[in-house]
Amino acid sequence: MRNPITGKNVVIIGAGVGGLSAGILLALLDYRVTIVEKNPVTGGLMRSYRRGGIDCPVGVHYVGALGPDEPLGRMFDVLGLSVDDLFYRIGGDGVIDRYLFDDFVFDLPTGQDAYENNLRIACPADGRALDSLMKNLRDIAAGMLKPSFFLNTGDPFQNMESFRPMGELLDELAVSARLRAILAVPCQLIGVDLDDCPVIFHSMVLAGYLFSSWRLKDGGARMADVFTARFAELGGELLTGSPVQKIHVAGKKVTGVSLACGRMLPADGVVAAIHPKALLGLLDEDVLRESVRERILSLAETEGVIALQAGVDARAHAAMDHNIYRLFCGAEGAIADGVFCQIRPGGTDGTNLLSIISRSLYRDWRPWENTRTGRRGDAYREKKQAIAGQLLEKAADIFGPFKDLRLLDVFTPLTLRDYVNCPEGSCYGVLRSSRQLLKVASLNNLPVAGLCLAGQNALAPGVLGAVLGSFAAARQVAGEKRFLAEMARQL
Ligand SMILES: Cc1cc2nc3c(=O)[nH]c(=O)nc-3n(C[C@H](O)[C@H](O)[C@H](O)COP(=O)(O)OP(=O)(O)OC[C@H]3O[C@@H](n4cnc5c(N)ncnc54)[C@H](O)[C@@H]3O)c2cc1C
């Protein structure tokens, strides 16, 4: 969006964590905001679902940087949301993530000093490289603690070195295969390969969790409800159960949206908290230049995942306050495969919830590409079951044979695609690789007055990235001067 909008009516498309936080911010800035959500319930990937009486997470397993002086904690404060009501801190036992490799174990602890210490013990031959890498990490982490990070003022990361690929930096520093493997894990978290992951994103994700790591107390459904209630409390209007079908534009300026149910909503501004390719589908073809359309259509996506949820006997499999990554490396420390596991209280007597997530390529699900959730047939179910069996075997190697295991659900990239409208079931939206960073950056300046993107596709993925993106969207809608004056009052 090139200029702030001139009127008061804003429509937000999508009620994920990005759309809802943009809605709350714009309502705080005195806009009349309507959020339109295609699903009957709000939350998008943030919302958990119930199976067999157990709350199963989709897109919020753990979140970093929610402490009072940390970036996400400060943004929650501006939004008027209580961190302690929703989350509890993990890592009290000294471990946030345990990385299990074939020949060694690495613990991700809380705090940059503890992390550096663990790295130096695990990789004694990498002393000089670690001096340089830790300096980078500390510089970027310090930038994240300044309000300019989430207010989007100036550029807290002016150093162009921050945008080069991690792989290139690690080659230059001639790091060991072991250090490369450890450093590849945060890249997995945002779905980018280490070789092509910009240093800045690697450090942002890592620094966020090192500041402090948190899990939801009562699950993602409650988180979604709390965000929704805050939006309603500020006078926001919510329309669920019917997608936006078209964004109306006249003279290169947004005029409103129409919904599949036939309703028309006039608007001075539209914030699309959805995938940019999904946004294209809502615009007449001549609204954007062919070159812009092509640029968006050619964006590579982050890969999909398959996720399994199972109930296990709580006495045999105690809940763990840290996450487990089992990682399988190829040559030179490249991670070829891996599973992420959590065992947490199931909320029902005697049962804990085991969640496993692993990579799953969209192309592997092509035979069912033109089917919809719930109507994919037996062959699809059998394929899911077979993969579930393999994932459970990998998990049993870590936790031992499972007692009273009850498979609750398995979801695939197709499930996510249909649920939130993300092309190819991409987990974290467009790929934030060094290679396509310029293309991605151009999304922040759509050439239609009154139209901008929010959510994980606007700035960065994850809860931190999606909320950051909503601050950037509010700044675009209100204009820098007004936005900063209001934020100065709030902070
Ligand atoms: C398996 C998995 C695990 C994850 N784990 C973590 C984690 O542990 N920590 C973390 O920080 N992040 C995690 N993430 C990422 C995080 O969940 C996302 O970054 C974040 O939830 C994205 O929010 P969003 O608002 O941008 O998008 P979404 O949640 O996708 O919201 C978009 C919304 O728009 C709606 N919509 C789409 N099209 C239309 C339309 N035409 N009209 C109306 N509504 C529409 C969708 O239904 C959806 O509700 C995970 C993601 C996945 C998939």
Return mean pLDDT, the chain.
95
> 226 with 233: CB under 8 angstroms?
no
d(CA 97, CA 91): 8
Mean pLDDT across 17-35: 98
Mean pLDDT across 42-58: 97
Is pLDDT of 28 > 70? yes
Instruction: Identify which of 171, 155, 456, 430 has the alpha carbon closest to the alpha carbon of residue 296.
Output: 430
Name, in order, each residue with C-beta under 8 angstroms of 416's C-beta and a sequence gap of 6 or more. Answer: 45, 58, 304, 305, 422, 425, 426, 427
Measured by CA distance, the residue closest to atom 1 of ligand 1 is 59
Is pLDDT of 458 > 90? no
Read out DSSP for 12-75? EE--BHHHHHHHHHHHHTT-EEEEEESSSSSBGGG--EEETTEEE-SS-S-EE--STTSHHHHH
Measured by CA distance, the residue closest to atom 33 of ligand 1 is 14
Select from 62, 420, 464 the residue to mutate for testing ligand 1; criterion: most ligand atoms less than 8 Å from CB. Answer: 420
Ligand 1 centroid–CA 397 distance in Å is 31
Measured by CA distance, the residue closest to atom 31 of ligand 1 is 16
- Name the architecture of domain 9-60+219-300+431-490: 3-Layer(bba) Sandwich (3.50)
Ligand 1 centroid–CA 44 distance in Å is 5
Select from 42, 45, 414 the residue to mutate for testing ligand 1; criterion: most ligand atoms less than 8 Å from CB. Answer: 45
Residue type, 347: G
158-210: pLDDT as tens digits:
667 788 999 999 999 999 999 999 999 999 888 899 999 999 999 999 999 99
pLDDT at position 392: 98
Beta strands in 262-322 (DSSP E): 264-266, 269-272, 305-313
Is pLDDT of 273 > 90? yes
Mean pLDDT across 427-432: 93
Burial environment of residue 106 by CB neighbours within 10 A (0 to 12, 13 to 18, 19 or more): buried
Q: Which atom of ligand 1 is the closest one to the Cα of 245?
A: 41
Q: Which atom of ligand 1 is the closest one to the Cα of 461?
A: 19
Ligand 1 centroid–CA 48 distance in Å is 11
Is pLDDT of 3 > 80? no
> 341 with 395: CB under 8 angstroms?
yes
> 215 with 355: CB under 8 angstroms?
no
Q: Which atom of ligand 1 is the closest one to the Cα of 466?
A: 26
111-124: pLDDT as tens digits:
999 999 999 999 99
Give the chain's count of helices (H) and strands (E).
17, 20
The CATH 3.50.50.60 domain(s) of the chain lie at 9-60+219-300+431-490
Measured by CA distance, the residue closest to atom 4 of ligand 1 is 59
Ligand 1 centroid–CA 411 distance in Å is 15
pLDDT at position 2: 63
Is pLDDT of 104 > 70? yes
The model's pTM is 0.97
Measured by CA distance, the residue closest to atom 10 of ligand 1 is 462
pLDDT at position 441: 85
Ligand 1 centroid–CA 451 distance in Å is 20
Mean pLDDT across 319-335: 91
> 311 with 317: CB under 8 angstroms?
no
Ligand 1 centroid–CA 46 distance in Å is 6
Task: Lowest mean pLDDT of 39-48, 107-116, 259-268, 323-332, name the range.
Answer: 323-332
pLDDT at position 176: 97
Q: Which residues contact ligand 1 via a Cβ below 6 A?
A: 13-19, 36-39, 44-46, 58-63, 243-244, 273-274, 278, 305, 307, 357, 416, 420-421, 427-428, 455-456, 461-464, 466
Confidence of residue 92 (pLDDT cuts 50, 70, 90): confident
